[in-house]
Amino acid sequence: MADEPLVLGIETSCDETGVGIVRGTTLLADAVASSVDTHARFGGVVPEIASRAHLEAMVPTIERALKTAGISARDLDGIAVTAGPGLAGALLVGVSAAKAYAYALNKPLYGVNHLASHICVDQLEHGPLPEPTMALLVSGGHSSLLLAPDITADVRPMGATIDDAAGEAFDKIARVLDLGFPGGPVIDRLAKEGDPKAIAFPRGLSGSRDPAYDFSFSGLKTAVARWIEAKRNAGEEVPVRDVAASFQEAVVDVLTRKAVRACKDEGVDHLMIGGGVAANSRLRALAQERCEKAGIRLRVPRPGLCTDNGAMVAALGAEMVARNRPASDLDLSADSSLPVTDPHVPGAGHSHDHDHVHEVSKENLYP
């Protein structure tokens, strides 16, 4: 619909420069420039390298998104950007770019939360989110269970990892197995050829006295690494496919079990799964199986929308515009530890007046 908000979103919380454009809940463009190959030889993301890559990719990626969407930057109703959480330097590049575009175009600016954006992106594939929404977010930096009565204003943490995130554990085990970085995709692929019951790896925080919704993957990671080390020290061949399958099963078993429990306890009849690890095929399959058994509807975006992208930021920005949420001030700062309870960063006094934005000569600046 032409009267729905047209918003550009910028995501730079880690190693992907993502720019998305949405109209309401319709995705018009999703441009991504990733620096993951540059980080691979270091075995993980190097913040300084990521920040420099964002600087180089920002303008070309925005121009590519505008061209794909077939719009002019002047047509936009707002600019949304990930204000946190994430890598401080990487966030600063995105926030600075968003402020520059908002200023030059005289458009409202919305600094939004990375985790809330991961939830909101599902609207682009499956329509408006139910309220409340129960979301399981799993990535290299986060493993969280969240209840969102209102994705723009009310997101409540139910549980989170107390140590390693799920995606981080995948990367570390892949490194131990000499499988390279990132570890999630290759472990997923090898696990399909292995036996998930071959090795009884531990399920963290799954005892009757443990927190109901919190996660722990550090103990699992250590147990797998020690099992592999013992095999190598004994001169035995490590069954890589069985290790991958058994490790992966231990992770997704705990994730899905706790997510379904949270839905039941809160009386929520649906579950949304997002974040990079949501692209894992076994996580999707086991979640579907357990949700069907519990009478819960499962919503999982396609893999391309699960990893970090600008479309998710634009989706949340469009929702902010649609619900008349206050825009951010042009002195918006990046916050590497922005709490999930803050879906966005409103301006001072919860109001925003663009009349103070000075007009600049920009006829030749933006298409």
Q: What is the pLDDT of residue 42?
A: 75
To the question of whether residue 139 is assigned a binding role by annotation, the answer is yes
pLDDT of residue 358: 35
Binned at pLDDT 50, 70 and 90, residue 10 comes out as very high
Domain with CATH 3.30.420.40 in the chain: 6-121+309-356, 131-302
**Bridge partner residues of 30 (DSSP):** 20
Structural fold of domain 131-302: Nucleotidyltransferase; domain 5 (3.30.420)
Does the predicted TM-score (pTM) go above 0.85?
A: yes
Write the CB contacts of 45 (distance below 8 Å, at least 6 apart in sequence).
14, 15, 39, 87, 140
Interhelix angle 47-69/88-105, rounded to 10 degrees, is 30
95 annotated as ligand-binding? no
Position 355 scores a pLDDT of 41
pLDDT digits (tens, 9 = 90+) for 174-224: 999 999 988 999 999 999 999 999 999 999 999 888 999 999 999 999 999
Mean pLDDT check: name the lowest of 40-49, 150-159, 233-242, 326-335.
Answer: 40-49
pLDDT digits (tens, 9 = 90+) for 43-93: 778 888 889 999 999 999 999 999 999 999 999 999 999 999 999 999 999
Percent of the chain with pLDDT over 70: 94
Task: Please tell us whether the domain made up of 6-121+309-356 is placed in CATH 3.30.420.40.
Answer: yes
Torsion of CA 361, 363, 364, 367, to 10 degrees: 130
141 is in an annotated binding site: yes
% of the chain beyond a pLDDT of 90: 85
140 is in an annotated binding site: yes
Whether residue 184 is annotated as binding a ligand: the answer is: yes
How much is the pLDDT for 349? 59
Residue 364: pLDDT over 70: no
Length of the chain: 367
Tell whether residue 171 is among the known ligand binding residues.
Answer: yes
Kindly indicate the confidence band of residue 98, based on its pLDDT and cuts at 50, 70 and 90.
very high
Average pLDDT over residues 273-285: 95
Supply 289's token pair: 């199986």
Report whether 114 belongs to an annotated binding site: yes
Q: Report d(CA 243, CA 246) in Å as an integer.
A: 5
Binding site annotation covers 118?
yes
Query: Is the model's pLDDT at 367 over the cut of 50?
Result: no
Is 164 marked as binding a ligand?
no
Per the listing, tokens 């995105």 go with 94
Q: Is 358 annotated as a binding residue?
A: no
Read off the pLDDT of each residue in 122-130 and give the average, rounded to a whole number: 96
pLDDT at 117: 97
Neighbours of 228 (CB within 10 A): 18
- Strand ranges across the sheet with 154-160: 154-160, 143-150, 133-138, 270-274, 297-299
CA distance 266 to 187: 33
